Structure 1
Amino acid sequence: MDWYKTVFGLIDLRSFSNLWFWIALAVLWSTTSHWVLGVPFDMVTRARKYGGEVTQDLHDLVGINTRRLLFIAEVSGVWLIAIIAFLLTALAVLGFVYSIQFAQAVFLLLGPMTLVGALSLSAAKHIATVQPEGEDLYRRLTRHRIIVQAIGMVSIFITSLWGMWQNMQVFSGWPN
């Protein structure tokens, strides 16, 4: 077996063997876990550490983003759910029934993000209802971030396993 043929057979321009897909996956989850309800997490850390004006800025930003999310959900929530359900169903059918790898890749990017969106909406509703301040707000935002990171870790793990499986099938000629 020729070494170069083996290596370059695994590195083609399909979705899961494309470097840009994996960069996009890393950037997506890095950005998602850094921006908690539209607030950069370093701001939560600074507010916890220094207090004062930073704390007020954090409360203002959380309030603005919470009201924004809840307004969007109230005004167009049903339509958004219908569109997202249609899009995810179409991607799942195209990807996993008709074996279109690009649809699989997009589904594996967007599917877990719907969980993050639902989680963010739930956290926004909780914050708007309870209106936590100080350490209670910091804990709520930190808990939200940890859950988002857990979803991201599971998503990256599943995506990498599926991507390796797809690359092995393409390389070896296994049937789909």
Structure 2
Amino acid sequence: MQDWYQMAFELIDMRSFSNLWYWIALAVVWSTASHWVLGVPYDMVTRARRNGGQAEEDLHDLVRVNVNRLLYITETAGIWMLAIGCFFLTTLAILGFVYWIEFAQAVFLLALPMGLVFALSIHTARKIRAADGEGLYRKLHIHRFLTQLIGMISIFITAFWGMWQNMSLGVL
């Protein structure tokens, strides 16, 4: 039985910050988060702004559907989602920074900023619904900019934490 565990941990490197797959996943997560603004691909936003017409109607319809969906979910299950999310983040923080489990640190450094992006999405969705579509392009652009800002700060902090972990453990 011990050989099975050893083989599994060699195959799945639990030292996340020295694992190339963690950094690829981090890049994919932030690239995807900045491309999909409230569930709408950002190229669709730029195309609608540039061309107007049917592309603009499609954008408004897709934003309306996604905003209504996101707000319905948060209005019906928001408290539960918040409680489960806080429990999950607290568990990761304790495992990662009290018990020094590197995998938990890596997941925490990915999950916490994504939680901030989710909260930002809810805030933006409420502003779009309240404004009834006025200034839609500006709101989507600001949302994307703030998502990218959160992503850059997150990647910066994660990279320095990962470098510090790797250097302090002697893994280069």
User: TM-score w.r.t. structure 1 length?
Assistant: 0.88
Deviation at residue 169 of structure 1 after TM alignment:
1.2
**Tell me, which stretches of 5 or more residues in structure 1 are unaligned?**
1-12
- Tell whether 2:148 aligns with 1:149: yes
Report what 2:118 is aligned to: 117
Report what 2:137 is aligned to: 138
User: TM-score w.r.t. structure 2 length?
Assistant: 0.90
* Structure 2 Cα separation of the partners of residues 81 and 147 of structure 1: 21
Report what 1:4 is aligned to: none
Report what 2:166 is aligned to: 167
Report what 1:75 is aligned to: 76
Report what 1:103 is aligned to: 104
* Structure 2 Cα separation of the partners of residues 132 and 69 of structure 1: 16
* Structure 2 Cα separation of the partners of residues 46 and 39 of structure 1: 12
Report what 1:15 is aligned to: 16
Report what 1:129 is aligned to: 130
* Structure 1 Cα separation of the partners of residues 139 and 130 of structure 2: 13
Matched positions, count: 159
Deviation at residue 69 of structure 1 after TM alignment:
0.5
* Structure 2 Cα separation of the partners of residues 170 and 27 of structure 1: 27
**Tell me, which stretches of 5 or more residues in structure 2 are unaligned?**
1-12
SS of match in other structure, 1:120: helix
